């Protein structure tokens, strides 16, 4: 039986484009080359369900893209979904994300560097609050 790795990348891309996010996440953990092929599909459309009782999911994405900036190039859309955003008291406000001072410094350095190389990010796009 042939290994999945023995197939040409073009065929693997055709297969990967049909898989669910859960399956893509599993394949990312199988082999380095499969991770390389799978990550663009996995990061293209980032969706979070934001609940006040759970840790803020976007911090995990920020940490991942800070550790591996090439992941940010794959992101096309980010959707934050949460029932609390439709409540009148939350309209026009963005929930605060608690981050440490070192994480904030790292994030600001990343944003500053990407703005220097012509990326669309600027310091004004980062508005994280609640530094511990």
- pLDDT of 130 over the 50 cut: no
Q: Are 38 and 9 in contact (CB under 8 A)?
A: no
**Rounded CA separation 1/6 (Å):** 10
pLDDT confidence tier of residue 126, bands split at 50, 70 and 90: very low
Mean pLDDT throughout 125-129? 44
Q: What are the Cα distances from residue 101, in Å, to 47, 131, 132?
A: 26, 6, 7
pLDDT tens digits for range 24-72: 999 999 999 999 999 999 999 888 777 766 667 777 888 888 888 889 8
């Amino acid at each position: 039986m042939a290994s999945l790795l023995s197939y040409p990348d073009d065929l693997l891309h055709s297969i990967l484009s049909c898989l669910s996010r859960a399956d893509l996440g599993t394949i990312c953990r199988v082999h380095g080359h499969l991770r390389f092929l799978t990550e663009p599909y996995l990061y293209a459309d980032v969706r979070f369900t934001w609940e006040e009782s759970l840790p803020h999911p976007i911090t995990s994405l920020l940490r991942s893209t800070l550790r591996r900036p090439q992941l940010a190039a794959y992101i096309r859309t980010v959707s934050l979904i949460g029932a609390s955003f439709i409540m009148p008291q939350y309209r026009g406000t963005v929930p605060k994300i608690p981050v440490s001072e070192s994480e904030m410094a790292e994030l600001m350095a990343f944003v500053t560097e990407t703005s220097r190389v012509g990326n669309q990010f600027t310091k004004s796009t980062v508005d994280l609050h609640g530094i511990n």
